[in-house]
Amino acid sequence: MPTMSLSHAQRPGQMLRLARLSLLALALGLAACKGGGTGAAGKPDAKANKGPEAVPVEVVAASLRSISASYSGTAALEARADAQVVSKTSGIALKVLADVGQHVSAGQTLVSIDRDRAVLQEAQAEAQVRKLEANYRRATQLAEQKMVSVNDVDQLRFDLDNARAQLRMTKLELAYGNVTAPISGIVSTRDIKPGNFVQINTPIFTIVDTSRLEATLNVPEREIEVLKPGQPVQLLVDALPGKTFEGSINRVSPVVDAGSGTFRVISAFEGGGLLQPGMFGRIKIRYDQRADALVIPRNALLDDGTDPAVFVVRAGKAARVALKLGYDDGPWVEVRSGLKAGDEVVVAGKSALREGSAVKVLEGAGKPTAAGKPVQAAR
C-alpha cells in the first residue's frame, strides 16, 4: 500500500517532463524546415542551392580571312597523245633500235626490216622506166615524120606514166623497211625482237607523249557558268602524298550530257617529271576568292539535319544561331549572315548543349594565333 501511493504521487511530474520534451522536438523540427538548407552548424547547404552543372566546351572566334570558291573532283591522268607503231610491210626485223622507257622523236627509226626483195623490185621498175622513156622519145620523132600514129604515141606516154608510178611505189615500199615513230614520246611497250618476222599492220611498239598530261572531270551542269578555260587547277596524287601540282583548265565542253547532267572539263598539267599517265588524282579548281570573308571552322556547324546553325557562347550560356553560308574551302566555311567577327562558336562539346545551357569555356580555346587566325585547344 505505501508503494502504491508513492507511484501515484510521481506520475504527474513524469507526464509534465514528457510534454516538455515533445514541444522542444516540435520546435526544432519547425526551425529546421524554416532554415531550408542549413547544416548542423547553421551554414547553408551547398548541394541544396547548386544549379545545373556547366558544360565544358571549346570555342573558336569567328574571324576574317581569305577564302576561295572551288570545285573538287577525281580523275585519272591521261597522256596528251599515244600511238601504236605498226609496220607497213612484212619482213624480218634486222635491227630493233628502241626499248621500253626510251624517249624517241617523231620520225626516228625504231626497226629496220630486211628489204632485199624491195631493192630488186626498185631496180626492175627503174629499168622499165628507162626503156619506156627511150621508146617514147623515138615515137615522138617518128610521129613528126608521120611514120607513127598519134594513138601509138599516146599509148607509149600512158605506159611511161604507169611505169613511173610503179617506180615510186617500189621506192615507197623500200622506205617502209625503216619503221619510224609517228610521235615524240616514251616507249611504253615493245612487242618485237631482232630476227622476228614482222607482219604488216601488226602493232610492235606503243609510244606515249608525256610532255603534257590531262585529266577529265564530269562536272554537274550547275557549275557550267563558273568553270572557264585558263582557271588554275591544283592536283594531289595518291601515289605522291604531300606533293601538290599546278595546272590549268585547258578546255571545257559546251554540251551537257542529257543522261548524266554533266559536262566535260579537261585540265592540263606539265609532264616529264613525277606525274605519269594512269595516276589517280584529286583535283581542285578555284574559280573565285574573297580576301576578307567572315569564316568559322567547318566542325562548328551542327549536324542535326536542319539549316546551318552553330552554338555561340554569350554571357556564359549557349545560344543557337542560324547561319547563311557562303563559300566552302576545306576546313573553313564562309558566314554571310548570323555572326560577326569575334563571336565565339562552339567547336567541341556542342552535342551536349541545348538553348540556354550553361557553358564553361576550356582554358586556351579560341585564342588567336600570331597570324590572327583562331586555333582550337587540344581536346
- pLDDT band of 7, cuts 50, 70, 90: very low
Classify residue 188 by burial, with Cβ atoms within 10 Å: 0-12, 13-18, 19+.
middle
Break the chain into its structural domains and give their ranges: 56-69+290-361, 71-79+210-287, 83-204
Fold of 56-69+290-361: 2.40.420
Average pLDDT over residues 344-356: 86
Question: Which of 69-73, 111-115, 141-145, 159-163 has the lowest average pLDDT?
Answer: 141-145
Cβ-defined contacts of 135-142 (< 8 Å, 24+): 135/160, 136/160
Residue 156: how many CB atoms within 10 A of its CB? 20
pLDDT of residue 234: 92
Q: What is the pLDDT of residues 277-316, one digit of tens each?
A: 999 999 999 888 888 889 999 888 988 778 899 999 988 8
- pLDDT band of 105, cuts 50, 70, 90: very high
Would you say domain 83-204 falls under CATH 3.40.190.10? no
pLDDT of residue 49: 53
Residue type, 158: F
Distances (CA, A) of 300 to 43, 77, 283: 43, 36, 26
pLDDT of residue 51: 57
pLDDT of residue 80: 86
Q: What is the pLDDT of residues 186-236, one digit of tens each?
A: 999 999 999 999 999 999 999 999 889 999 999 999 889 889 999 999 999
Q: What is the pLDDT of residues 230-273, one digit of tens each?
A: 999 999 998 899 899 999 999 999 999 999 999 999 999 998 78
Q: Please, how many CA atoms are within 13 Å of residue 231, restricted to the half-sphere of its CB?
A: 20
| 71-79+210-287 CATH pick, 2.40.30.170, 3.40.50.1000, 3.30.465.10, 1.10.287.1120 | 2.40.30.170
C-alpha to C-alpha distance for 329 and 313, rounded to whole angstroms:
25
34 has a pLDDT exceeding 50: no
Kindly state the percentage of the chain with pLDDT values over 90: 39
Going 344 to 348 to 353 to 358, the CA torsion angle's sign is: negative
Q: Please, how many CA atoms are within 13 Å of residue 156, restricted to the half-sphere of its CB?
A: 20
Higher pLDDT, 149 or 217: 217
78 has a pLDDT exceeding 70: yes
